[in-house]
Amino acid sequence: MSADHGTAGGGFTAVVLAAGKGTRMRSDRPKVLHALANRSMLGHVLAAVQEAGAARLAVVVEPGRADVADEVARMAPGASTHPQAERLGTAHAVLAARDALEGEGARERADVLVAFGDTPLITAETYARLRAPLRAGAAVAVLAFEAADPTGYGRVLTENGRVVAIREEKDASEAERAVRLSNAGLMALSGTHALSLLGRIGNDNANREYYLTDAVALAVADGLSVAVVNVSEDEALGVNDRVQLSVAEATIQARLRRAAQLGGATLVAPETVFLSADTVIGRDVTVEPHCVFGPGVVVGDGCVIRAFSHLHDARLMEGADIGPHVRLRGGAVLEAGVHLGNFVEVKNATLRAGAKASHLTYLGDAEVGAGANIGAGTITCNYDGVSKHRTVIGAGAFIGSNSALVAPVTIGDGALVGAGSVITRSVPAEALALARGRQTTREGAARVLRETLKAAKASKDGKRG
C-alpha cells in the first residue's frame, strides 16, 4: 500500500464493503469472490484503491468467512477486516470499520473513501477523481451516472446546481423518480466530518435501514459543500447475478486487450483472446485467434502465440514461438527462441534457449537443454502413481519420435535416443540409446496368415448356417 500519509494530497482510508451474501448469484461462494479475468471482484477493488493511493484499508466482511479474509490478506497485505454481524444498511456497514477510522494513524489518513466489493469496474483514476473534491473543501463527494433507465437506483437530487440529497427509489416522490442522475453508491468523506456525519445517520425510511447516502442531506443541513463526480454507467456497474458478471467480464477483457495492443502487441482477432488481470505481454508479440491466458503469464518481446493455445503460470522469453494448440502450465519456462509446435504440453518444465518440440509431445517435470530437439510423440513419464520425478535432457540432445523417457532419468549433452525407445536408465553425453524390440521379418508370412484367418472365419460361418 502507499506510504503517503498526508491529509491534503496523500493517502486516505478506504473502507470496502464486502459482506453481502449475493443470493442472486445462486452460489455457495461469496459474491465478491466471483472472478473477472481470473481475479476476484474484491481483488479488483482492492487493487484499484491501493493504486489510487489508499494508505489504510479496512474491509467489512461477513463473520466467519475465512475465504474472504484470506483473499483480503492475499491482495492487500496489512489491510484490516471487520465483521458485520447485522445488515442494517450501508452506513451501518461502514461503521463496522469504526476502529479503522478512529484508531492510531487515522488522523493523518483523514479522508475516507467508501468502495463496494461488488463494483469491480471502477478504476484507480476514478477513485482518485472521487476524492479530489475533498481537497478543494467539499465535505462529501458522491459518484453518479446518467442512467438510461434509472429504475431501482437512488436519485441524486440537486437545486440550483447544488446537491441537496440522494433519495432511494422507495422513498422518492414521483417527480424525484423522473431524475436520471443516479447514485453509483461510492462516496468520499472529508476526515474532518466523516465520523460526525456517519454517526448521525438514522433509519427513518421505508426499509428501516441506515443509508450512507443520508450523509449528503446531513452535510447540506450543516451548510457543508457536497460534490458530484460523474462516471459512465458501464463503469459503475454493480454485479448482482451471473448475467451482470458476464457483462463485467466483457468490459474487463476489452480493457486488457486494448492495453496489450497499445503496449505494442498484435492481437489478430482481439475479441477471441482472453487475458487475466495479471497477464504481461511485451512489445512486438503476435497473438493469433482463440488464445487463453490464465493467471501468472509473462510473455517477452517478439514472441508468437499461435491459435488455440492455452497458457497458465508460464513465462516466455524473447522470441519464443508456440502453437497452434499448445498448452503451458504449472511453472513452464521457455527461454529465448524456443519453438513448440501443435499439440505440445509443457508442465513445470524449463526449455533452454533454442530448444524445439515441434508436435505431439508432453514435457512434464523436466529440463530441456539449449538447442535440444524433441521428436513427435515423445513423453516424459514423470509420475509413478505416488510421486513426481524429473527428467533432464542435455544441450543439443536429439530425442527420436515416439520415445518415452521414464523419470528420474538424464539424457546427456549431445546424446541421441532412437525413435520408439523406452528409456529407463540415464544416457551419457554423446551416446546413442536404443531401447526397443528387435524387428523380425518373415517373407510371405502375411499372405499365409491372411489365408489361414479367412479359412477359419469361413468354417465358423458355415457351422452357424
* Domain end (from 200, 230, 260): 230
- Tell me whether residue 359 is one of the annotated catalytic residues: yes
Q: Is residue 451 part of a domain?
A: no
The reply to whether 19 sits in an annotated binding site is yes
Does 397 lie in the same domain as 347? Answer: yes
- What is residue 10's predicted lDDT score, i.e. its pLDDT? 58
C-alpha cell recorded at residue 27: 452460489
Does 219 lie in the same domain as 98? Answer: yes
Q: Is residue 61 part of a domain?
A: yes
The reply to whether 253 sits in an annotated binding site is no
Could you give the CA distance from residue 280 to residue 318 in angstroms, rounded to a whole number?
A: 13
Q: Is residue 450 part of a domain?
A: no
Q: Is residue 279 part of a domain?
A: yes
Q: Is residue 106 part of a domain?
A: yes
- What is residue 271's predicted lDDT score, i.e. its pLDDT? 98
Neighbours of 70 (CB within 10 A): 12
CA dihedral angle for residue 244, residue 249, residue 255, residue 261, rounded to 10 degrees: -150
| 440/45: higher pLDDT | 45
The reply to whether 261 sits in an annotated binding site is no
Does 255 lie in the same domain as 143? Answer: no
- What is residue 294's predicted lDDT score, i.e. its pLDDT? 98
Domain tally, the chain: 2
Does 174 lie in the same domain as 29? Answer: yes
Could you give the CA distance from residue 336 to residue 184 in angstroms, rounded to a whole number?
A: 47
**For residue 240, which of 17, 23, 460, 464 has the smallest C-alpha distance?**
23
Does 247 lie in the same domain as 225? Answer: no
The reply to whether 373 sits in an annotated binding site is yes
Does 368 lie in the same domain as 347? Answer: yes
CA dihedral angle for residue 258, residue 259, residue 262, residue 264, rounded to 10 degrees: -110
The reply to whether 211 sits in an annotated binding site is no
The reported pTM is 0.89
Asked if the bond preceding 324 is cis, omega within 30° of 0, the reply is yes
The reply to whether 89 sits in an annotated binding site is yes
How many Å is the maximal CA-CA distance in the chain? Answer: 108
On whether the CB atoms of residues 374 and 393 are closer than 8 A, the answer is yes
Neighbours of 163 (CB within 10 A): 23
Q: Give me the phi and psi of 222, to 5 degrees please.
A: -85, 0
Q: Is residue 237 part of a domain?
A: no
In the chain, the N- to C-terminal Cα span, in Å, equals 87
- What is residue 49's predicted lDDT score, i.e. its pLDDT? 97
Does residue 9 surpass a pLDDT of 70?
no
On whether the CB atoms of residues 273 and 267 are closer than 8 A, the answer is yes
| 103/227: higher pLDDT | 227
Q: Give me the phi and psi of 124, to 5 degrees please.
A: -60, -35
Does 318 lie in the same domain as 184? Answer: no
Q: Please report, rounded to a whole number, the percentage of residues in the chain having pLDDT higher than 70.
A: 96
Q: Give Cβ neighbours of residue 36 (< 8 Å, ≥ 6 apart).
A: 44, 120, 245, 248, 249, 252, 277
User: What SS3 class is residue 452?
Assistant: helix
Does 358 lie in the same domain as 427? Answer: yes
Does residue 2 surpass a pLDDT of 50?
no
- What is residue 103's predicted lDDT score, i.e. its pLDDT? 63
On whether the CB atoms of residues 188 and 130 are closer than 8 A, the answer is yes
Whichever domain contains 152, its CATH number is: 3.90.550.10
Does residue 4 surpass a pLDDT of 70?
no
In tens, the pLDDT along 308-366 reads 999 999 999 999 999 999 999 999 999 999 999 999 999 999 999 999 999 999 999 99
- The residue-averaged pLDDT of 133-140 equals 93
Lowest mean per-residue pLDDT among 99-108, 112-121, 149-158, 436-445: 99-108
pLDDT level of residue 6 (50, 70, 90 thresholds) = very low
Q: Is residue 394 part of a domain?
A: yes
Does 190 lie in the same domain as 89? Answer: yes
Lowest mean per-residue pLDDT among 91-95, 206-210, 280-284: 206-210
Does 295 lie in the same domain as 166? Answer: no
Look at strands 404-406 and 422-423 and give their pairing.
parallel
- What is residue 85's predicted lDDT score, i.e. its pLDDT? 84
pLDDT level of residue 206 (50, 70, 90 thresholds) = confident
Which of 34, 312, 325, 359 does the annotation list as catalytic? 359
**What is the residue-averaged pLDDT of the chain?**
93
Give just the sign of the alpha carbon dihedral 448, 450, 451, 452: positive
Neighbours of 3 (CB within 10 A): 7
Does 405 lie in the same domain as 312? Answer: yes
Neighbours of 241 (CB within 10 A): 14
Does residue 45 surpass a pLDDT of 70?
yes
- The residue-averaged pLDDT of 173-188 equals 93
The reply to whether 115 sits in an annotated binding site is no
Phi-psi group of 264: left, alpha or beta (phi > 0 → left; psi -120 to 50 → alpha; rest → beta): left
Could you give the CA distance from residue 153 to residue 461 in angstroms, rounded to a whole number?
A: 80
Place of cell 438510461: 148
Could you give the CA distance from residue 32 to residue 42 in angstroms, rounded to a whole number?
A: 5
Does residue 378 surpass a pLDDT of 80?
yes
Lowest mean per-residue pLDDT among 97-101, 255-259, 281-285, 379-383: 97-101
**For residue 186, which of 325, 332, 37, 17 has the smallest C-alpha distance?**
17
Whichever domain contains 304, its CATH number is: 2.160.10.10
Does 374 lie in the same domain as 324? Answer: yes
Question: Which structural domain range is residue 103 located in?
Answer: 12-230
In tens, the pLDDT along 60-113 reads 999 989 999 999 999 999 999 999 988 889 999 999 999 888 865 544 547 999
Q: Within 13 Å of residue 127, how many CA atoms lie on the same side as its CB?
A: 29
